[in-house]
Chain A
Amino acid sequence: EPEVTQTPSHQVTQMGQEVILRCVPISNHLYFYWYRQILGQKVEFLVSFYNNEISEKSEIFDDQFSVERPDGSNFTLKIRSTKLEDSAMYFCARRTSGANVLTFGAGSRLTVL
């Protein structure tokens, strides 16, 4: 099964800028999830994605966030206008349909200045 690869590993951005975090590769038969972990805090669910649609999303996942598959392979998390409090580690995870185990990528660290 494909591993979960995330890019970039670390991104520094100015407040108000747009950020795109990528998760590759992707298969048509998997659930994908985005989680975030603010430094020193727990891993928080953002959104799940299946069959090109958002399956579930948390209250954290407000209008500034979006997910998509722009080219049929990458699975992206976009933050439209970053805020200081968006500084966190963002993890992509996959789950095979019918299985109940999350496999995580190494994460993308976002620092908003």
Chain B
Amino acid sequence: AQSVTQPDIHITVSEGASLELRCNYSYGATPYLFWYVQSPGQGLQLLLKYFSGDTLVQGIKGFEAEFKRSQSSFNLRKPSVHWSDAAEYFCAVGAGNQFYFGTGTSLTVIP
């Protein structure tokens, strides 16, 4: 069965520091992979997606993610975090017409 695991429930980083949010998935075929961000009281906004090709994908707001098939991972990174990046981040797998979400990682940014 398809599943998405985000092992970090909550992460705190200092503004300007680098960030990596982990995501592992379980899926039998090549997945479609996504990262979404949810600001307080808002819907989910697509940050980036991986369908095929280059395993390092660039997204909005300076985020990138790397697909590693051998590790079944799709970690999200940002070299320098801004205070406005504080939000909930969700990793998701697309399988056919269905999408499976992880439990999310809450990011706190401290000055």
Contact = CB atoms under 8 A, between A and B. Distances in A.
A103 B34 CA distance: 12
A48 B103 CA distance: 20
Contacts of A56: 97-98
Interface centre among A41, A42, A55, A106, by most B CB within 10 Å?
A: A42
Interface in B54-110: 90, 92, 94, 97-104
Interface string A28-58: 0001010100000111110010100001100
Given A31-B97, A45-B100, A48-B97, A101 B34 contact: yes
Interface residues of B, number: 21
B94 A100 contact: yes
Contacts of B101: 35, 42-45
Interface in A70-87: none
Given A31-B97, A43-B90, A101 B49 contact: yes
A44 B44 CA distance: 13
Given A4-B43, A45-B98, A93-B44, 15 more contacts: A33-B99, A42-B102, A42-B104, A43-B101, A43-B104, A44-B101, A45-B99, A48-B98, A55-B97, A100-B32, A100-B94, A103-B46, A104-B44, A104-B45, A106-B42
Interface of A: 4, 31, 33, 35, 41-45, 48, 50, 55-56, 91, 93, 95, 100-107
